[in-house]
Amino acid sequence: MDKKNSFLLDKVLVVEDDDILRHNIASLLEIEGLQVYVAADGMEAKQLLKTKRISLILSDWMLPYIDGLELLKFVKSSTELNHLPFIFLTAKSAIEDKLTALDLMADDFISKPFLSQEIMLKCRNHIESRKNLLKTTFRPEDNNNSLSRDQVFINQVKQFIQENVANENLCMDDFTNQFPLSASAIQKNTKRITGKSIFQLVLEIRLIMAKDLILKDIYPISEVMIQCGFSHHNYFSKKFKEEFGVLPNQIRKHIQLKTF
């Protein structure tokens, strides 16, 4: 992976009630090139999971309000979140505890005290494994040179979004007029293939295209915003920062700093 750009895509949620440990883990992962969100308890973690696009969860077992096991149950029972790798950072070593967590689909464990390199490597490996799994969804079928039905569908959806990205009023009717499917079928297939709703996908594509245009440094940001279907500067800046970790006018400088 190109680590200098990984911060644009890979976001880790660190859930740890010890302030110093939480800060140290976050700093370690940020140095690795990951964007990190932090939570001091399970309730705070649940709120972040509802509003942020996370790539992996690294959570302590013993937490205030909602412990790590309850947080794991919440994640793995959610159709929107159950694909996320969930790693326990824990002092619990009893095999019964680990079996309980594995039964609830925990992905891995890191025992305290831990090595910094172990956290870094396990987080990176699980993120990469998840990406490789997703890529298989879009591979041509082995017994056929043609693209899979899913890949054809999602490529057409993405192309339609890109061709209409400047239309800030892009709506479900536009998709049903373009594709011979009902609105619910389009939504269902998009979510199944990408893990995102159709309008989460629209927003993601708008933001990626905006980032690419800003990096080309051809148009002022105000024009890039309009070209990508955003009419309100504050909303654009907020969503851009949520997605990439920096404001639109900081992205070029940020990538230059990551290069060194």
| Statement to judge: residues 7 and 118 lie in one domain | yes
Provide mean pLDDT across the span 222-240: 90
Residue where a domain terminates, one of 136, 167, 197: 136
Assigned domain for 141 exists: no
| Statement to judge: residues 26 and 117 lie in one domain | yes
Q: What is the CATH number of the domain that holds 131?
A: 3.40.50.2300
Provide mean pLDDT across the span 99-126: 85
- Quickly tell me which residue has 């959610």 as its tokens: 78
48: pLDDT confidence band, cut at 50, 70 and 90? very high
Assigned domain for 142 exists: no
Give pTM, 2 decimals.
0.53
Assigned domain for 93 exists: yes
Q: What is the average pLDDT value for the chain, to the nearest integer?
A: 82
Q: In the β-sheet with 11-15, what is the strand arrangement from edge to edge?
A: 35-39, 11-15, 56-60, 86-90, 108-111
- Assess contact for 58 and 15: CB atoms under 8 A: yes
| Statement to judge: residues 108 and 12 lie in one domain | yes
- Assess contact for 239 and 205: CB atoms under 8 A: no
| Statement to judge: residues 116 and 188 lie in one domain | no
- Assess contact for 84 and 75: CB atoms under 8 A: yes
With a CB cutoff of 8 Å and minimum separation 6, the contacts of 25 are 14, 16, 58, 89, 119
- Which backbone phi and psi does 101 adopt, to 5 degrees? -65, -40
Residue where a domain terminates, one of 110, 136, 162: 136
| Statement to judge: residues 36 and 132 lie in one domain | yes
Is residue 96 classed exposed, middle or buried when 0-12, 13-18 and 19+ CB atoms within 10 A define those classes?
exposed
| Statement to judge: residues 62 and 104 lie in one domain | yes
The range of the structural domain enclosing residue 26 comes to 3-136
| Predicted local confidence at residue 19, as pLDDT | 93
